[in-house]
Structure 1
């Protein structure tokens, strides 16, 4: 890994004082300089106890604003001056979009009051009173909108504040990430060039980073400050707006928005107007394409909330153009992973507060978490992207006639949004670097056995590094450090709580202590090998049958069908190549053949007819083939668990009315089922019970119409679900037991065919009886609780969280929703389960 860094990253960017110079990738200064290691963009400064004079000098430079610390000559629009917030607020409040919405809401209220008789049309002064009432309503809405705006907007008002904030935050962050923040010099210089052009045209740069930690937005703000770029306005959830800290973040760039807007049209208009003002003024913006933080380590599906506002600004013509800059932030170790595991196992997330912030902040200072690597994809024009997509879509035949030039058409907007979201995710993956901790975590979780010797660990990390590079990925470089030293450093960062070390053996031996938490780091590499993993899992449907090699070979058509099924199943989990399944599958199979993992049999026309494991791979103990299987098996387990849990949602025998179950309770029941099956040996991976993957599976099942979900207009009533009638399994008419048959069971078995084989799962009949019996028992409890809650309604037996039956209005909404989903699936023309 240390010998050849040409494909991994650009030269290092060395910043000393006010000078910015380039040096070759992995450059190590001569020993005469006293510097023996790579220069990070940002490193922790002097400490008062060890270097008091240097410490005081650094503080004085920030106080006086010397050189780059002054933050005067920034690239971008003017920010951090007295009156900035008031200037932005006045622009928001005077915007035509907001004023039109306020007038519309006032007129709507007037109409209601007229119908209710509060305004008498027979009154001789009716029009005067109506005008007066309308004026009062408008004034009231103006005040509400102004309050919303003040709570929402960032407040770039004080340059001394941001200088002090930069110094404080950088010292705290760089004490935890003691090896600094690293960037690619070529990417940074390119970004500065783009920023200069954008500033000249008064265009905004919209940074779209991945989101794994709260450190993400802190590190990007620090980099922009250090590089002299105008700080972006960061879209943040209002859950972070708690006393003291909330105000600090708002003055450093946070824009607070609600997690859910509901039907609040005024609030929606305020957000849209603020986004318009930002983009029209050329102010930079930052929002996380995934919405919330990824608790699993891999990219989450895109969230379209803020992007939809940005897109509306351009499609409406209110904004000419904006620049999109996808950003990848990778860590040796993420601060929050231990908390993520707790959340994924079902413990409710704690609400942020000042006490926890201060407590966690003090503990972070004692950590040694390695380094942060930030990479910037080449920025591109959003207007150019829109024009390109509309031109392409207008040439592609569609199942439904659509005027792709109609910017108000919701079908057009949704298509553009979805394409935009996944384009950004693909760009983030393309520019990401793989850290040593991710290499180690991936190797430890993709080997058979309890542990791995030091020699074998080094060999497999070296193999994985080569495979990552061959796939076009990047591996973080560490100057001229030998690979064993890099691995030792990664093990030190992961710590003994994640990776254990057995002493007193013939060879140093390591083992995974916390596989659940370590899977976070393994998932940082899976996007590079998802095609190979799907092919390996499809081939496993034959390999697991045992017997001779001929029995384990698979016809190419069967391989295609299973890969088609699995890729559709995980459409919400992973990002695939845009070349299409047939092309991508053939390229993947040919690549595995070139790597001598599989062999391919062809007919006289040269078409692939059969695929199987190569003799060389069998001789090597299937280690490379198993690697790909181990990557995907936990996700297959989670999907299988989610599908099995649906079996238990079949209504009990004799249940006449449809009973709707609370979605969250059904998912909690699925998680309990998974924990039970894991400890009983029917589930191989404990991480399969994590609630994020289960939630994604339920979402996928809803998209395919396997389950139906109703969301009430009353926000106090949580979403409810049922199995779609055509998917419900049957029951024995005498005993009432679930039958291992039907459409849902066949679907579950198709997933199971690619599951990892286990010694407790070879008797299918025993498994089907035991597992179905368990899921049925948990399902019956859900039904009992729902009916009991319904019967106790209004009788003082407790509050009903979710009515078990739908109202007539909800039934109509359900009917429309089912038809809309079918139409959408037909329109999108996606692969279906």
Structure 2
């Protein structure tokens, strides 16, 4: 497996002392003892006291004394870990012109308000001096607030003995859990060191942008940078991790804490910007997760633009000349948190981080055997170069709106650059990601029909999938000369019997997925490689599901194009597509499927594609390769279909006014309940379709296209609310009040359903148009009744708890005049944004 040199992801780096050398193909030459050569991981298990007490004590003494590379003295990058580092950074932040200007503005604004409210007497003969005194007091107060916020926010690289001890402790824990070590590509690491040396010379920062699947992500990055002699990056972390003991530990190891939401806090926003400026101006390395939070589904999430926006502003404003972007992929044989992810995706509220859980989790790590971690670094690139390239490109493209693409103060220009930057980073991460054996096994088990698979068949399909991954330009984890059967056994052992089990005592050992929901996390690690093929397969399924021979199942090219266009737009927030454009990408995909003998293509005399169908060879093979692509995308199609069906129930019942708004979270919970019901009744094929993240993404996509409208109150205690846009609202029977399976939203739902896997009622739309619609209508009625009842109940209890200032407020079911105006602006802004993006619409 992975023998092709083009896709070799061998951990072929050997570090001896301070010297880093390249090894050929991940193979360490055997000693003269006659032993076979072995694979060399960058970081391997350390000695344990019980088994090797002398070696253990020697290792501890080396770290305590700081011998060789462990001293962390000769690092590539700006000086860190010295007494006074934190004070130096605080001084730089507090003296920043941007921050001081904002403090002056806020003080002036407050003085003006107090003057208007009569708190400052303008008739007083000493008015000018009292006003100046009041302003000085406000400035001093804001300075103190900013200093306190800064102290809580910034990382504190203060002590080398601390970081040496932290490195040893964390490495002991991590490498006992991931017992096969942390692996890297030597070519990528040596390239990164060269880039780091050049960046240090120019005093430029390297901004590491990793994917985020586990808390181990930032731990592994810090460990690698330490081991490779690179200056540790400052890691952007949510303040939810800043809890007693652990928060301080992480802060001294590199964490900077920021709020999850800034709201309208101008001082805090400016403070974060000043800190980012200070880091980039000083050439300090930075790390933030492009997806924001951890992915609970196994695939990349849409980019979050918060910190990227600050970084981009630093350059566009001219306060920083340049920075180096380095996308990073971190892959695991098994992710520690997946079991917790499943409960969250099924609607169980996320637990707040605390010390007890941290200690419990840390101790349990020692008994785990989770395989290995593979870290891959994309070739770093200049952010300034990216900006210049994009503005030059955009200036040449005809636009539907009048925009000067070289005007860096224009918000439309900034938004376009920011979005392009985010998706480029995601594409780069996908490009260097390594597919682990557990991902291969999980993908195979979830893309085969039937309850289980025999050992021979499992090996055959894993080998086929491995070849397909490499043919698509992907990488498969390197295991030296180990036979594929051994690699699969290793992967099954890591997954464990809770995920995959084997039935013994049969003619052949047979494996089946025990927890398909959790196993889908590993399947989703491969889907980015085959998304184009999956979309085409789903489009072809519109005809193939009808059964019969080629004459019935063959489909005109235009129908395939239309459905692929629709599905690709539907999943725009779920997957990362090729930047070549739909038509080019579709043609390449069809030609690839034709070359693989999965489809047959009919062409006219001029060579244009006219009709597409399954090949005879694929039919003879039981559609196994075609089905593979369908099984990849079907769970996501089901989730979007479920979300669309759930919207039907949001049509106001007879007797209710049209302007009733319900909480977004309540609507999504209702959709999840609908999905669980339909799954257990057999109308939904995939239980993972009810997962919270995918439903949330579908609702977000529907909002972008104006199918639903969402309002957010300025009062943080009032949650976001939604309604169906009037033009999308389905009708009701005037006599019975029953929801009608007709209208624009119903047609939209049917278009999704045309590529959906058949359930128990094959080709029978009546079950959906009657029973399922009736069920979603009943759930919708409960939502409306609960919303109205909640508002009325809170209204009657108005005044209770007065003076506490923390009481819950009623969630209004109707909008205020100010919110109506905000909604109108939002609708116009969405239309403008759709024109700016120039993308296909649903």
The two structures have a TM-score, normalised by structure 2, of: 0.98
Shift of 1:36: 4.9
Distance 1:658 1:159 in 2: 61
The residue number in structure 2 matching 1:673 is 674
Shift of 1:16: 3.2
Distance 2:270 2:383 in 1: 22
**Could you tell me whether the CA contact under 8 Å between 1:12 and 1:22 is conserved in 2?**
yes
**Could you tell me whether the CA contact under 8 Å between 2:2 and 2:475 is conserved in 1?**
no
SS in 1 for 2:27: coil
**Could you tell me whether the CA contact under 8 Å between 2:795 and 2:810 is conserved in 1?**
no
**Could you tell me whether the CA contact under 8 Å between 1:13 and 1:23 is conserved in 2?**
yes
The residue number in structure 2 matching 1:807 is 816
Listed one character per residue, the Cα deviations across residues 406-452 of structure 1 (whole Å, up to 9, x for unaligned) are 11110010000000000000000000000000000000000000000
Distance 1:485 1:99 in 2: 63
Listed one character per residue, the Cα deviations across residues 631-688 of structure 1 (whole Å, up to 9, x for unaligned) are 0000000000000000000000122241100000000000000000000000000000
Shift of 1:403: 1.1
Q: Please state if 1:630 is matched with 2:631.
A: yes
Q: Please state if 1:693 is matched with 2:694.
A: yes
Listed one character per residue, the Cα deviations across residues 132-181 of structure 1 (whole Å, up to 9, x for unaligned) are 00000000000000000000000000010000000000110000000000
The residue number in structure 1 matching 2:16 is 16
The residue number in structure 1 matching 2:779 is 778
The residue number in structure 1 matching 2:805 is none
Listed one character per residue, the Cα deviations across residues 554-584 of structure 1 (whole Å, up to 9, x for unaligned) are 1000000000000000000000000100000
Shift of 1:764: 1.1
Distance 2:105 2:2 in 1: 64
Shift of 1:790: 1.8
Q: How does 1:196-595 map to 2 (within 5 A)?
A: 196-595=197-596
Shift of 1:122: 1.5
Distance 1:490 1:149 in 2: 45
Q: Which has the larger displacement, 5-14 or 754-763?
A: 5-14
The residue number in structure 2 matching 1:828 is 837
Q: Which has the larger displacement, 765-774 or 672-681?
A: 765-774
The residue number in structure 1 matching 2:803 is none
**Could you tell me whether the CA contact under 8 Å between 1:221 and 1:231 is conserved in 2?**
yes
Shift of 1:767: 2.5
Listed one character per residue, the Cα deviations across residues 218-273 of structure 1 (whole Å, up to 9, x for unaligned) are 00000000000000000000000000000000000000000000000000010000
The residue number in structure 1 matching 2:85 is 84
**Could you tell me whether the CA contact under 8 Å between 1:48 and 1:56 is conserved in 2?**
yes
**Could you tell me whether the CA contact under 8 Å between 2:10 and 2:477 is conserved in 1?**
no
Q: Please state if 1:818 is matched with 2:810.
A: no
**Could you tell me whether the CA contact under 8 Å between 1:204 and 1:285 is conserved in 2?**
yes
* Structure 1 gap segments, 5+ residues each: none
Distance 2:32 2:7 in 1: 29
**Could you tell me whether the CA contact under 8 Å between 2:2 and 2:466 is conserved in 1?**
no
**Could you tell me whether the CA contact under 8 Å between 1:26 and 1:478 is conserved in 2?**
no
**Could you tell me whether the CA contact under 8 Å between 2:322 and 2:383 is conserved in 1?**
yes
Shift of 1:385: 0.2
The residue number in structure 1 matching 2:67 is 66
**Could you tell me whether the CA contact under 8 Å between 1:682 and 1:761 is conserved in 2?**
no
The residue number in structure 2 matching 1:95 is 96
Q: How does 1:82-231 map to 2 (within 5 A)?
A: 82-231=83-232
**Could you tell me whether the CA contact under 8 Å between 1:203 and 1:282 is conserved in 2?**
yes
**Could you tell me whether the CA contact under 8 Å between 2:649 and 2:781 is conserved in 1?**
yes
Listed one character per residue, the Cα deviations across residues 275-326 of structure 1 (whole Å, up to 9, x for unaligned) are 0000000000000000000000000000000000000000000000000000
SS in 1 for 2:237: strand
The residue number in structure 2 matching 1:739 is 740
Distance 2:444 2:810 in 1: 45
**Could you tell me whether the CA contact under 8 Å between 1:210 and 1:328 is conserved in 2?**
yes
The two structures have a TM-score, normalised by structure 1, of: 0.99
SS in 2 for 1:118: coil
Shift of 1:9: 2.1
Listed one character per residue, the Cα deviations across residues 736-782 of structure 1 (whole Å, up to 9, x for unaligned) are 00001000000000000000012334321123201001000000000
**Could you tell me whether the CA contact under 8 Å between 1:718 and 1:801 is conserved in 2?**
no
**Could you tell me whether the CA contact under 8 Å between 1:5 and 1:26 is conserved in 2?**
no
Distance 1:830 1:770 in 2: 36
**Could you tell me whether the CA contact under 8 Å between 2:18 and 2:69 is conserved in 1?**
yes
RMSD: 1.1
Distance 1:673 1:5 in 2: 49
Shift of 1:405: 1.6
Distance 2:767 2:506 in 1: 41
SS in 2 for 1:481: coil
Shift of 1:63: 0.5
Distance 1:785 1:32 in 2: 78
SS in 2 for 1:609: strand
Distance 1:19 1:710 in 2: 58
Distance 1:194 1:440 in 2: 36
Listed one character per residue, the Cα deviations across residues 93-151 of structure 1 (whole Å, up to 9, x for unaligned) are 01100000000000000110011011121111111010000000000000000000000
Listed one character per residue, the Cα deviations across residues 300-359 of structure 1 (whole Å, up to 9, x for unaligned) are 000000000000000000000000000000000000000000000000000000000001
Shift of 1:51: 0.6
Distance 1:36 1:513 in 2: 37
The residue number in structure 2 matching 1:27 is 27
Distance 2:491 2:610 in 1: 44
Q: Measured at CA, do residues 715 and 421 of structure 1 come closer, stay the same or move farther in structure 2, by a change above 3 Å?
A: same
SS in 2 for 1:206: strand
**Could you tell me whether the CA contact under 8 Å between 1:28 and 1:480 is conserved in 2?**
no
